[in-house]
Chain A
Amino acid sequence: EPEVTQTPSHQVTQMGQEVILRCVPISNHLYFYWYRQILGQKVEFLVSFYNNEISEKSEIFDDQFSVERPDGSNFTLKIRSTKLEDSAMYFCASSATSGGGKTQYFGPGTRLLVL
């Protein structure tokens, strides 16, 4: 069964550094998402992406975040200048359809630690 994949599984970075988290969505899916989960807390929506543009973003997704689909398979989340509070598990998800109830499949996550 196809799965969403993410790299790296773990990333340690210094505060102020840029990080890029990578995701390969399920191949026939059209809608892509990023979520984050701070340790022990709920999963929080960051951004959704469709047709090469952002569909919607949450208040968490400020100017230090950006997303890109650089080619036909990868979907990336960039954090320009990391802060301590960016430490979290970042999940990518994808779905085949949207609106009125679509199923989102999550990747295994990238655990980001900002020191």
Chain B
Amino acid sequence: GENVEQHPSTLSVQEGDSAVIKCTYSDSASNYFPWYKQELGKRPQLIIDIRSNVGEKKDQRIAVTLNKTAKHFSLHITETQPEDSAVYFCAASDGGGADGLTFGKGTHLIIQP
């Protein structure tokens, strides 16, 4: 089955700086890669996703890059703000009959004022 590794587990950045979170996956059949933000005690909320036919996608301060050859994808947050503090999860799906997402272990992003 799919295995998703996520690094770092904790990331502390100064407000206004950029944050980068990296994930690798094992199943070359995976073709869908969402990122979820989870605040304490809340539901995971989709912030951006990318499909295997695209190398990069951007939405305002958030961008995701995908390297299918290397089987890794990254989340980039620019001009970080205090409200960006949360746990971020990457996930992958093989798009097969299962469609269940395999999640990474999460990155606790801390924005220092």
A interface residues, Cβ below 8 angstroms from B: 31, 33, 35, 41-48, 55-56, 58, 91, 95, 98-109
Contact = CB atoms under 8 A, between A and B. Distances in A.
Contact of A108 (B42, B51, B99): B42
Interface string B6-41: 000000000000000000000000011010100000
A42 B98 contact: no
B51 A101 contact: yes
A47 B74 CA distance: 27
A58 B100 contact: yes
Nearest to A33: B100
**Chain B: number of interface residues, binned into ranges:** 20 to 34
Given A42-B89, A44-B103, A48-B98, A102 B32 contact: yes
Nearest to A4: B43
A43 B51 CA distance: 21
A101 B51 CA distance: 6
25 contacts: A31-B99, A33-B99, A35-B100, A35-B101, A42-B103, A42-B105, A43-B101, A43-B103, A45-B100, A46-B100, A56-B100, A91-B43, A98-B99, A99-B95, A100-B95, A101-B31, A101-B32, A102-B32, A102-B99, A103-B46, A104-B34, A104-B46, A105-B46, A106-B36, A107-B43
Nearest to A3: B43
B106 A99 contact: no
The 8 closest A-B pairs by CB, nearest first: A56-B98, A45-B100, A101-B32, A101-B51, A106-B43, A43-B103, A42-B105, A42-B103
Contact of B99 (A58, A99, A106): A99
Given A42-B106, A55-B97, 5 more contacts: A42-B103, A43-B44, A48-B98, A102-B32, A105-B46
Interface in B22-74: 31-32, 34, 36, 42-46, 49, 51-52
Contacts of A56: 97-100
A41 B96 CA distance: 25
A98 B89 CA distance: 20
Contacts of A99: 95-96, 99
Nearest to A97: B99
